[in-house]
């Protein structure tokens, strides 16, 4: 299983915003602190704002901050925002017509069960949970 860079970036962006609740976090601060490219930060912040997880303000004193309380942001919601099921496992779970052995494929069944367990485990974690002890992630 592999999360795409935008998903990883989005989770880290939310974590750094949660760690800095008293002020907006600027894009250059995110790039520097998280080691992400500016284009990835722009793309992830835009999607997080569109979905209502971040709010942003331009200009002097601007930046990004959480639009919702961290304990109300479910980690799996963020993963599902940036990932499709077909991106998490080797076979495309929803495109049966593309695979000739779909009915007999044990890999598909195993992946469906693994995805279900993955989803069940992460659905219980909030942004506040994963940001509680973020160790090397600095306040900016």
Alpha-helix residue ranges (DSSP H) falling in the chain: 5-19, 27-34, 38-50, 75-82, 85-88, 106-123, 127-131
Reported as a single tens digit per residue, the pLDDT across 83-96 is 865 555 556 555 55
Q: What does the domain layout of the chain look like in residue ranges?
A: 5-131
Which range of 24-28, 97-101, 107-111 scores highest in mean pLDDT? It is 24-28
> Can you give the pLDDT at residue 86?
56
Burial-class residue 57 by CB neighbours within 10 Å (0-12, 13-18, 19+): exposed
Question: Which numeric CATH code is attached to 5-131?
Answer: 1.10.10.10
Nearest to 77 by CA among 136, 125, 17, 23: 125
Indicate the pTM of the whole model: 0.80
């Amino acid at each position: 299983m592999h999360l795409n860079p935008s998903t990883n970036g989005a989770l880290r962006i939310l974590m750094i915003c949660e760690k800095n609740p008293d002020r907006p976090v600027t894009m250059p601060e995110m790039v520097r602190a998280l080691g992400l490219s500016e284009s990835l930060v722009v793309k992830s912040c835009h999607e997080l704002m569109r979905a209502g997880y971040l709010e942003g303000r331009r200009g002097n004193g601007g930046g990004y901050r959480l639009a919702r309380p961290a304990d109300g942001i479910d980690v799996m919601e963020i993963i599902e925002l940036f990932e499709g099921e077909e991106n998490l496992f080797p076979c495309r779970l929803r495109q049966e017509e593309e695979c000739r052995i779909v009915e007999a494929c044990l890999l598909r069944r195993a992946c469906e069960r693994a995805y279900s367990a993955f989803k069940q485990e992460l659905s219980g974690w909030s942004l506040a949970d994963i940001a509680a002890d973020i160790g090397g992630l600095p306040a900016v």
